[in-house]
Amino acid sequence: MSIKISEIFGPTIQGEGTLIGQPTVFVRTGGCDYRCTWCDTLHAVDSGYRDTWKSMSPNQIMDKIRELSDGKPILVSLSGGNPAIQPLGELIDLGRKESYSFAMETQGSIAKEWFSKLDHLILSPKPPSSAMKTDWDALEGCIKAAGDKNKITLKIVIKDEEDYTYARQAGEKYPDLPLYLQPCNMSPAGMDQNGVDMDDIHRRTDWLIEKITNDGWFNVKVLPQLHVMLWGNKRGV
């Protein structure tokens, strides 16, 4: 069984969403069925980078995770691209036997039966500013595949009013799922901290906080990308 891998790195911290701040080893797969306008990980998405991706077996990936974590169980974050494209069930089985836990973030466009093996499933449907169209039936399939709703959270990137309206509708559609809003980072992929427009991110964050408080939308959380604040859009951190 072969898995396309863009990069494996860590330990570092999870920079966004419900697991923000938690020590993590990242397994970033290669390949994606989306092409979001503001994608900050094109090296794991665009087929032009295909030659940089490695085909690795679950055992090879687990060996690298053990090496990075010094054999100590840690959260493993499966990301991409869209990691749901890859056959990750066996990797999760291997890690769980050694007390590693697994989180995965996906846009919710592809459901796999091994989602039920995850400890955390972060569904991040893409809003209008991404230029992608959400298939709500596919996202519903991902929720059903995960089984336990207690392991599922929603995370939506917000650029503008249209995205905000989209997020409100998603929150109404899934009121029993925790929802995190993330101000959109429009800075180019690969930029270090000096190349990221933090002023723009701060303005967008202030605007978003004002929106939810003025609207009385109190069952949602607004969080920035902590890793962008610390390191910009650099790879491998």
CATH code of the domain containing 65:
3.20.20.70
The DSSP-derived string for 184-233 is ---SPTT--GGGS-HHHHHHHHHHHHHHHHHHT--S-EE---HHHHHHTT
Q: Rounded to 5 degrees, what angle do the CA atoms 85, 225, 72 make?
A: 65
Give me the pLDDT at residue 230, please: 66
Query: What was the pLDDT predicted at 237?
Result: 56
Q: Give CA–CA dist 82/84, Å, rounded.
A: 5
- Does residue 204 lie in a domain region? yes
Q: Give domain status of residue 152, yes or no.
A: yes
Structure tokens given for 2? 């072969």
Threshold 0.75, pTM exceeds = yes
From residue 143, how far is each of 33, 44, 86, 119, 135 by CA, in Å?
19, 24, 18, 13, 13
**Total domain count for the chain?**
1
Q: What is the pLDDT of residue 228?
A: 76
Residue 77 lies in a domain: yes
Q: What is the mean pLDDT of each run of 10 residues along the chain (237 residues)?
A: 95 91 96 93 90 97 98 97 97 98 98 98 97 97 96 96 98 97 74 70 93 97 82 66
Identify whether 79 is part of a domain.
Answer: yes
Is residue 237 included in any domain, yes or no?
no
Classify residue 236: in a domain, yes or no: no
- Predicted confidence at residue 236, as pLDDT, reads 64
Domain containing 143 equals 3-231
Is 115 among the domain residues? yes
Query: How open is the CA angle 226-206-123, to the nearest 5 degrees?
Result: 50
Q: Supply the pLDDT for residue 195.
A: 66
pLDDT value of residue 102: 98
